Chain A
Amino acid sequence: GENVEQHPSTLSVQEGDSAVIKCTYSDSASNYFPWYKQELGKRPQLIIDIRSNVGEKKDQRIAVTLNKTAKHFSLHITETQPEDSAVYFCAAKLTGGGNKLTFGTGTQLKVEL
């Protein structure tokens, strides 16, 4: 099965700085990589995703990059704001595995004023 590792587990940045969270996956057959944001006490929500035929995707201050050869993908948040503080989860979906997602263990991002 798929295994997803996520680093770091906690990340503290100053407001306005960039934040980068990295994930690696084990199964080269994975083809879909979403990122979810979970604010304290709330449900996870999709913030951006990327498919295996694309190397990079951007949405305003958020971007995701994918390196299929190395089997890793990263979330980049620029110009961080206090409301970006949350737990971020990466995930991977196997081709042919239905839509089952394997999640990373999460990164607690804190944006300090």
Chain B
Amino acid sequence: GAGVSQSPSNKVTEKGKDVELRCDPISGHTALYWYRQSLGQGLEFLIYFQGNSAPDKSGLPSDRFSAERTGGSVSTLTIQRTQQEDSAVYLCASSLGGTTGEQYFGPGTRLTVT
């Protein structure tokens, strides 16, 4: 079946502009996660959605970052007034939720802020 997909694959934006990144999880997966991976770095947790519960936003680095998950499926990560330090690969993952741990990652969106 189809895996996690993300769009766009690459995004170049000017400092100060807003960007939206999209994630389509695997059908039936109730949990969805956003991570940020800077060059040569690990995976930094941003936000986590589980079913209809309130999202865990504890990893969002500033109030310029927000995310939504509509209808329990597609998610959008929005970064307002982008800064150069926002440049990174943004990875989305989904899982079945419950106690099943395996997260399936999307290909990521490479964001470059000039």
Q: Is the CB of B43 within 8 A of A99?
A: no
Looking at chain A's contact residues, the main secondary structure is strand
Q: Is the CB of B101 within 8 A of A43?
A: no
Q: Does A105 sit within 8 A of B, measured CB to CB?
A: yes
Q: Does A100 sit within 8 A of B, measured CB to CB?
A: yes
Q: A98-B56, A99-B95 are in contact. Are A46 and B103 (CB under 8 A)?
A: yes
Q: List 23 A-B contacts (CB under 8 A).
A: A6-B42, A34-B101, A43-B105, A43-B108, A44-B43, A44-B91, A44-B105, A46-B102, A49-B101, A91-B43, A93-B101, A98-B48, A98-B56, A99-B33, A99-B97, A99-B100, A99-B103, A101-B45, A102-B45, A103-B35, A103-B44, A105-B42, A106-B41
Hey, which bits of chain B sit against chain A, CB under 8 A?
Answer: 31, 33, 35, 41-45, 48, 50, 56, 58, 91, 95, 97, 100-103, 105-108
